Amino acid sequence: MKKNISIHLKVWRQKDANSKGKMVSHTVNGVNPDMSFLEMLDTLNEDLIKKGEEPLEFDNDCREGICGMCGLVINGTAHGPNSGTTTCELRMREFQNGDTIIVEPWRAKAFPIIKDLVVDRQSFDRIISKGGYISIRVGNAPEATSILVAKENADLAMDAAACIGCGACVAACPNSSASLFTSAKISQLRLLPQGEPERNRRALNMVFQMDEELFGNCSNHAECQAVCPKSVSITHIARMRREYLKAAIKYVD
């Protein structure tokens, strides 16, 4: 039987978007090493409620590594120490008894803090609204073999589609760039024939909206790829740049 451990936390607490935040220390006892990181935070909140204190606010939903809600910076790394892992998939066995863990929200101008560890990520939704979909009526679903897609393109499209929009790429980038997220959404549809009719408009509008949201520029640090829980490749950023340039030239012409 695995022995429970105690964890010391330094957590960012902030009452609301207009208040000044600060790091607050908490200790969580009786942590089972098989707990997820979010379950450990649940235990902290149970203790705080018993003491009559305000529980810690943090985003979460599916807790299965799918929804992208659980965005936390853990000891300076988005989603924690394990690569290809969301915060909700991170297990407390990765830490030792008595460890001090620093927990912060995503830090970016385009992700304003709402409360504690919760940030407003509606900027991503606004980027998607500018072209991250197919609006052309195509009727009923065709037979699977009626539109042939090269396997290489299908694999690349699936790699791009794996993006869950968590925002770790923004949090890790020294420029707070959303290029990996935006390029994944552009690339996914660019590589499939269904996305071809709106190709130029999509690239122009989504990149323009990304800039409007005050995300920084990509300077090829590749920190985004390093922390992405779905290991989305930065090669999609190169494709986005090509798509944007081609669309801009065509628009000028």
* Calpha distance 181→163 (Å, rounded): 7
Into which CATH architecture does domain 5-104 fall? Roll (3.10)
pLDDT of residue 253: 52
Chain region(s) in the chain for CATH 1.10.1060.10: 122-252
Phi and psi at 38, nearest 5°, equal -70, -35
Q: Pick the closest to residue 198 from 158, 150, 243, 241 (CA basis).
A: 243
pLDDT value at residue 51: 96
pTM for the whole thing? 0.93
Chain Cα centroid distance, residue 99? 26
Query: C-alpha dihedral over 87, 32, 25, 104, to 10 degrees?
Result: 0
- Alpha helical stretches, state H, 25-75: 37-50
Residue 202 and residue 195 in contact, taking contact as beta carbons nearer than 8 Å = yes
Cα-to-chain-centroid distance, residue 190: 21
Domain 122-252: assigned CATH number: 1.10.1060.10
Return per-residue pLDDT of the chain as tens, 253 residues: 679 999 999 999 999 999 999 999 999 999 999 999 999 999 999 999 999 999 999 999 999 999 999 999 999 999 999 999 999 999 999 999 999 999 999 999 999 999 999 999 999 999 999 998 888 776 777 777 778 889 999 999 999 999 999 999 999 999 999 999 999 999 999 999 889 989 999 999 999 999 999 999 999 999 999 999 999 999 999 999 999 999 999 876 5
Give CATH 3.10.20.30 domain extents, the chain. Answer: 5-104
Cβ partners under 8 Å of residue 92, min gap 6: 5, 7, 31, 32, 33, 34, 35, 36, 37, 39, 40
Return the pLDDT at 146: 78
